[in-house]
Each structure stands twice: as structure tokens, then as C-alpha cells.
A = this chain, B = another copy of it.
Amino acid sequence: MVLYLIGIGLNNEKDITLNGLDAIKKCSKVYLEYYTSKLDCNIKNLEKLYKKKIHIADRELIENDEDILLNEAKKKNIALLIIGDVFSATTHINFLIRAKKLRIEVVVVNNASIISAVGIVGLELYKYGKITSIPFENKNVKTPYDALKSNLKNDLHTLFLLDLDITKNKFMTVNDAIKYLFEQGMEDRLCVGCSALGSEKPEIKSGKAKNLLEYKFKKYPQCLIVPGKLHFIEEETLNLYK
């Protein structure tokens, strides 16, 4: 039996690939990992298009040690749908290891990830450094700032992923992230705020941190980028988003 780990992309039900759809057809049960990101459509849309009932897999189900989901995959083909690409969230590597230890065959179907979708802002993907997340509670949290400092020192761009809590329908905004930068004394730093990346109409705004604070991004999830050293082509692209 096969465990299919299927990326379903960043935006809506039609971001699935044909290979992804084929894999779903082979499965007797379909789960959706629903705690590390969100789509801009509801689960009914997925069910209608994929023609399968979708079971929500929360953190407890994916990360618990009893391996309920993996034990099911011993007996029948199971699909686990993952928003974005399959291994963009670190936690899913652990899941892969446990599956392999149980000798379950795993097939991965890749899809778009925020990590390459940020390419649209015009900063070279090759020149990003460490990616970091800003949590809701960040008063004395230095990890994101340390990653930024280290990247800047090495002339690299920094992608900040922003916290979310699906169960409470709560999402960190670009503005929240900029306030975090303010606390590190970076109000004049050039930033790029994004929302709805991967959709037909992404929102992208570049400007100094203090100026970006005036702009309200309307969709979720959002992310913030702080550019490192700019090549003139990168500068030219960012100017398109001023």
C-alpha cells in the first residue's frame, strides 16, 4: 500500500497537479494537513473537485506517536494533502521518517511553495539566506532577528514566514511583522510585504518599514521579505512594487 504525500499549492483547489489528482483517485482515504498554512478556498471546494471526502489532519494526528494515519496506510492507499509543497513545513520530514521505519511506501507529489513563489518580487531566489518565522508572541524572541542579521552580513535576502493559528482563524500580518522589526530599530530598512502569493492577483508592496506600515494587506497568509545587497535588476523590479 502507498502513502501519497501530495502538495496542493498555495491558493485554491485548482492548484493541484494532474499527477496529484491521479494519486488521489487511487486512495481510499484522503486527509488534509490543516495547521501549517491556509488556502483561499474552503474544504468543500476541494471535496467537490477531488470527488473524495476530506478528513482534517491536525497537528495531533500528524505528530502523535501512535501513528494512526501511518497504520492505516499499511492496509490501504492513503493521501495526505499538504498546502504548498510537501516538505516546506519541517514537521513533515519527521512523518516521512516514521513512514519509512514502518516500511510504508511513500510517493511524493510536489507543488508550488512559498519558497519559490516569492521569486515574483524580483529578488534572486539564489540569494536568500536562512528562512525564519515570527511567532505571535515575539516580545523577547531574538531568533528571527538573529537570522536577519546573519543574512544581511552575508548580503543575503531574508524571508519571514508569519505565524498562524488555523483553529482560531488568526493570522499574523505584514504590519505585525514590521512592528517586530521596529523593536529591533529597523524602521528605515527596505522591506517587501506580500499576501496571496501564488494567486492570480498577489499583493506585493516594497518600501521602507515605516512607510509599509501604512499599507493594509488584505489576504492571508502574508509574508515579509527584507532584501540584502541588491543587484540593479533586483532594484528595478522592487521599484515596480513601490
Contact = CB atoms under 8 A, between A and B. Distances in A.
Contacts of A156: 129-130
B7 A112 contact: yes
A117 interface: yes
Interface in A203-241: 233-234, 236-237, 240
A15 B17 contact: yes
Interface string A99-113: 010000001101111
A130 B22 CA distance: 35
Contacts of A178: none
The interface centre, meaning the residue of A84, A129, A202 with most chain B CB atoms within 10 A of its CB, is A129
Given A90-B126, A119-B87, A97 B17 contact: no
Given A100-B240, A156-B129, A237-B93, A119 B14 contact: no
Given A14-B22, A112-B7, A113-B113, A90 B198 contact: no
Interface residue tally of chain A, by bracket? 35 or more
A132 interface: yes
A117 B22 CA distance: 19
Contact of A124 (B13, B18, B90): B90
Interface string A177-221: 000000000000000000001101010000000000000000000
A96 interface: yes
Given A9-B111, A96-B120, 20 more contacts: A12-B19, A17-B111, A17-B112, A18-B49, A85-B119, A86-B119, A87-B125, A88-B125, A90-B124, A107-B200, A108-B120, A110-B197, A111-B111, A113-B115, A115-B115, A115-B116, A115-B125, A125-B131, A129-B156, A154-B154
